[in-house]
Amino acid sequence: MRLILARHGNTFAPGDKVVWAGSSNDLALVETGLKQAHNAAEYLLTENIKPAAIYCSPLQRTKKFAEIVIERLSLNYQPIVDARLNEIDYGEWTGLSDQEIIDRFGEDQLKTWSELSQWPQKGSWGGSESAVLTDIKSFVDEIQKKHSPSDTIMAVSSNGRLRYFLTLMNGEFESRRQEKKVKVKTGHLCELVLDNGSCTLNYWDKNPGAK
């Protein structure tokens, strides 16, 4: 089974204050974010990929992204909303800029997450890393039971959550964390192959709009 992961498109326009948007920030896609969704759909169309189902988080930025892909590919279904794809709850970091986080909680806390993908100790984030890992494994196990092994499934989520799909492959998360290559940029795609309990990576953080 091919699992295509997508990060939703931009939620900040040029000139906007860029802040941390977690599970409690239900931001809409801006014009460039809508374009990124169309780019993802065009890439799938060019590659002749028609997902058997598209999942998304409860956030409108992921649902709209999924709806655009579905419409462009003329798929006869609606996105399946799954809370296990929801963004992390960034607690007291929510709505703050990077500099505001540094000022309030310290530069080391921002670097801990942004550069090393380690759950910070300050800021009262909701949930836990172990809960996210449980969600990811549960989601992947369920889609393999629910859909055919020959299907391609798409899941639209957010940067904080998506990186944990790398933990499905032995050593992949740890090695990429050291190389600072776990992030997925807005509108970018990743592809995993799920086969009898094993998982391999075809690509990570691919720009579908690149020529």
Segments in the chain below pLDDT 50? none
Confirm whether 123 is domain-assigned.
no
Confirm whether 141 is domain-assigned.
yes
Q: How many domains does the chain have?
A: 1
Of 94, 96, 52, 97, which is closest to residue 77 (Cα–Cα)?
52
User: Any idea what the CATH number is for the domain that residue 14 is in?
Assistant: 3.40.50.1240
Confirm whether 179 is domain-assigned.
yes
Encode pLDDT of 65-102 as tens digits: 999 999 999 999 999 999 999 999 999 999 999 999 99
- Degrees (nearest 5) of the Cα angle 101, 58, 168? 75
Domain extent for 13: 2-89+128-206
pLDDT at 196: 82
Radius of gyration of the chain (CA): 17
Confirm whether 165 is domain-assigned.
yes
Confirm whether 72 is domain-assigned.
yes
Confirm whether 169 is domain-assigned.
yes
Main-chain dihedrals φ then ψ at residue 86, nearest 5 degrees: -70, 150
Confirm whether 110 is domain-assigned.
no
